[in-house]
Chain A
Amino acid sequence: MIHFIDVWKSYARELFTASPVALRDISFSLQQGETLGLIGANGAGKSTCIKLLMDFIRPDQGQITVLGSPPRNHKIRSRIGYLPETANFPPNLTALDMLRFTGATCGMRTAAIQAASEKWLRRLALWEARKRPLRNYSKGMQQRANFAIALLNDPELLILDEPMSGLDPIGRADILGLIAELKGQGKSILFCSHILEDVDRVVDNVLVLHKGRTLFAGQPKRLANEQGCPTFVEGYLHLVRQGEEND
Chain B
Amino acid sequence: MYDRGKKMINTLKRISAVARIVLIDGLRRHALLGLVALSVSAEAGAFLFFDFIPRDIGRASSDFILSLAWLSGFIFLYFHGVQVIALDEERKVIYSLLARPISRGEYVGGIFTGLACLLLLLNLLLCLLGFGTLMFIKQQVLPVYFSQFAMSYYLLAWLGLFAMELMLLAVILFFSGLVRGSFPVLLISLSFYAICSGLPVVRDAISQKASLEGQSTSLKSILQGMTAFFPDFDRLDFKNMITSVTSPPDPSLILVNFGLTSAYIAVLLWLACIAYHRRDLQ
| Residue from the set A54, A77, A92 with the largest chain B CB neighbour count within 10 Å | A92
Which of chain A's residues has its CB closest to B105's CB? A74
Count of chain A to chain B residue pairs whose CB atoms are closer than 8 Å in the complex: 92
Question: Which of A11, A88, A91, A102 is in CB contact (< 8 Å) with B100?
Answer: A102
Closest 9 pairs (CB-CB, A-B):
A92-B28, A82-B99, A104-B17, A57-B280, A90-B25, A105-B100, A78-B101, A77-B101, A88-B92
| Of B13, B20, B24, most A-chain CB atoms within 10 Å | B24
Inter-chain contacts of A90 with B (CB < 8 A)? 21-22, 25, 84, 93
Question: Shortest distance in angstroms between B258's beta carbon and chain A's nearest beta carbon?
Answer: 32
Interface centre among B17, B21, B93, B101 (most CB of A within 10 A): B101
Q: Does A87 contact B (CB under 8 A)?
A: yes
Distance from A10 Cβ to chain B, minimum over Cβ atoms (Å): 11
In the assembled complex, B191 has its CB within 8 A of some CB on chain A: no
**A84-B95 contact in complex given A101-B17, A104-B13, A107-B10, C-beta closer than 8 Å:** yes
**B95 touching A77 by the CB < 8 A rule?**
no
Please state if A12 and B99 are interface contacts (CB–CB under 8 Å).
no
Across-interface contacts of B17 in A (CB, < 8 A): 101, 104-105
Measured as residues with beta carbon below 8 angstroms from the partner, the interface class of chain A is 35 or more
Q: How far is the CA of A78 from the CA of B17 in the complex (A)?
A: 14
Contact A84 B102 (CB under 8 A): no
> Once the chains are docked, how many angstroms separate the CA of A106 from the CA of B101?
6
Give 20 pairs: A residue, B residue, CB < 8 Å, sorted on A: A56-B281, A57-B282, A74-B103, A77-B101, A80-B99, A82-B99, A88-B92, A88-B93, A88-B95, A88-B96, A89-B96, A90-B21, A90-B22, A93-B24, A98-B96, A101-B18, A104-B20, A105-B101, A106-B101, A146-B96
A54 B95 Cβ-Cβ under 8 A:
yes
User: By DSSP majority rule, is chain B's interface helix, strand, loop, or mixed?
Assistant: helix
Interface members, chain B 78-109 (any A CB < 8 Å): 84, 91-93, 95-103, 106
CB nearest neighbor in A for B21 = A101
- Considering the complex, give the chain B residue whose CB is closest to the CB of A152: B100
Q: A54-B95, A88-B91, A133-B28 are in contact. Are A105 and B14 (CB under 8 A)?
A: yes
Q: Are A56 and B102 in contact (CB under 8 A)?
A: no
The answer to whether B101 touches A89 (Cβ under 8 A) is: no
A-B contacts besides A56-B95, A84-B92, A105-B18, 4 pairs, CB < 8 Å: A97-B21, A102-B100, A105-B14, A106-B100
Q: Which residues of B contact A82 (CB under 8 A)?
A: 99
Task: Tell me if A238 is interfacial: C-beta within 8 Å of chain B.
Answer: no
Hey, what's the 0/1 contact readout for B28-53 against A, CB within 8 Å counting as 1?
Answer: 11000000000000000000000000
- Residue from the list A75, A93, A106 in contact with B25, Cβ < 8 A: A93
